[in-house]
Structure 1
Amino acid sequence: MGDSEKKEERPTTHSNSSSSDEEEGSDATMDMIRRFFAHTLNLGGSTDAKADPDFKVEKVIPNLSFEGFADHWREHGFRKIVTMVGAGISTSAGIPDFRSPGSGLYSNLKKYKLPHPTAIFDLDYFEKNPAPFFALAKELYPGSFIPTPAHYFVRLLSDKGLLQRHYTQNIDTLDRLTGLPEKKIIEAHGSFHTNHCLKCRREYDMAWMKAEIFADRLPKCEKCNGVVKPDIVFFGENLPQRFYTSPDEDFEDCDLLIIMGTSLEVQPFASLVQRPGPRCIRLLINRDAVGQASFVPWMDPHERSLLYDRPNNTRDVAYLGDCDSGVLALAKALGWEDELQQLITSEREKLNASQPQKKNEELDKDKPHSDPDDAASNSQTKKDASL
């Protein structure tokens, strides 16, 4: 229906002057909405935001390509960086992600005869039948894997005094194994690092839990005989308190958010991309394109989903590839390549020294990225991103 037809249908209870003013205001509003849809949602036939001279996009940095972003970092630097990561940064270590068809964790749980794949992380199901979870935990237990170049890149940011906080969805504790200070880490979905009895809440450490799991014993509390559960956040449980209290401080004046190896589908973790101010650059390093808007942000003048593929993008950058390749490319562009590789080598030597010789041989055999020089060439055969 055209605008003129709409005007004829309006009630005529006001004066002609008042009616004319309303019509002009309505037309201006409709024009603004049309331009919003044309540019934000790519409706209207043009993908070039410059097609409308009244629609201006002021970019935070001149060039929002990965190369342009790296040039800006090298020339101007960043002061306060926050990282948020998911399962994709651990897949090259041999840990499956959750959702990749065929290789993801949820695709390989048939042997546990669960009512549905996510039941293995369902608190109600665990309380009735904890055995499947502990069988899986033995396969995926921390200490059987070594951190990836992506993990060590975060550690390098910390060593350089640039890292404000590291938010992770992962429960594998590989972030800790890099030597990243505990105060820098927020494990949004918990981890195996601590464990508590479901009945009396008595705490048990990681070494105790590992001994029970690898002895094929159901971990039971020595005080009340209740089942002891790792402090992993199951469906039906609250996230750690720090996840809710830290972002206000962490994202204040944050000038770079690095997002790696996550589908940005799981809330409330995914909402962290909304926390930085409009001048904060957001870098996505991920196998798949994720984070695009699926709704119209009527109430927010700054659309808070990632806009790297939109004509009205002002601050988002994307490297679509596996996480290790992304951080290695970034380190090279920044002149940090030698530092990163030296850090990887020295920290892995420390890890190997703390492991029995047999375990060292297994790690060297099973982890093709144990030599950082091979990471980029092996990356194309690896699956990345996806909790």
Structure 2
Amino acid sequence: MSGIGIEGGCCLTGEMEIQGSKNAVLPVLAASILHSGVTVFTHVPDIADVRASLEILELLGARTEFREHFVRIDATGIIPREIPKALGEKMRSSVLFLGPLLARFREGILYRPGGCAIGKRPVDYHLAGLSRIGAELEEESGRIRASANHLAGGTVMLPYPSVGATEQLLLAACGADGPTQILGAAREPEIVTLCRYLKMAGAEITGEGSSEIVIRGFQPVRREIRFRIPGDRIAAGSYLAAAAVTKGRLYIKGIHPNHLWASICGFRSMGCELRLEPEGILLSAPERLTALPFLSTDPYPAFPTDMQSAFLSMMAVAAGTSVMKENVFEKRLAMAAELNRMGADIRVDGNQAFCTGVERLHGTTVYGTDLRSGAGLIAAALAADGITTVEGFEYVERGYENMIELLQTLGARVWRITE
């Protein structure tokens, strides 16, 4: 286990270029299986989940190279090996390898995935959707085997706009005969990114970015594919929140403001000034943030659950009383107890947190149970009096590249703690 030490009281100031998107890169790495050739990805974040994905690809027989945000994958020699439990448990998105293996080889075997402890994240929507297009599923002791003599397109209605299930169906439908229609699809920018890559690889897709996506076929291309990963909207929002809570001024390059619109509205409502550019955001924080009377998480384009922890840290020091309602992951509000250890005044009732802002937080030892709560606690610690230790930093490193070094360049006093 690793931690991060933070001496609070800094004012996060400067400019930075945002890393490539964690939530966008992981599905396209899995999708590279569908291209029986070479894919070159650029602007790839150097994070633990990317390295775990490359381990899986190498296990399956791909040849990979990763250096300086550049990834080269030759998937020509991939074979459908079973993905072992120890490897699959490293990250939630390991389950996405099931779809492309099924599409290309008619078989995929893996275990129910691991990931962050933020609540129920069942893969039942994934499996039900695969079954709907002809996959036969066997499961025993967490081991899932999907096979199919023939995949046939059809209509799949998702009961919830699950990002993972939408991605899974997009990947598997590339191996189906006839069109596959996904109703109730997720609309996140990362879905659009995956569809862009699949089109370059030979898929015919319409409707990406809407709740109805249709995959009409897949004709593999025979050329090398080059694909740039977009900027990480959640990482950008996390750093903007850290600037906001520390009364800072931060310019982030490489991010589309439209992809963060719900968060931008939240920042403005709390008193921050923002200048929006086609590929950048400048945030200037007030002397003290203003409370948000009510904010709730919901699927895109609503306020994202991945930004909830960052905003809860802002609410902890905002003037007035804020209410945060979590509609996606029931354990995300567990971070409130850690903020209370720092002197926050937050009461959790069911899936709502009632937060009366305090003037100052104080340093102590807290624990982040997932990458977003860890990032949120780090933001709070930057604004707190004294020294804070945030344990569980290994979770943060699953999604944030070189956070310690980056924060130091922006004026923070932070250091790594290892056991």
TM normalised by structure 1 equals: 0.30
Determine which structure has the larger helix proportion and give its number: 1
* Bigger Rg, which one: 1
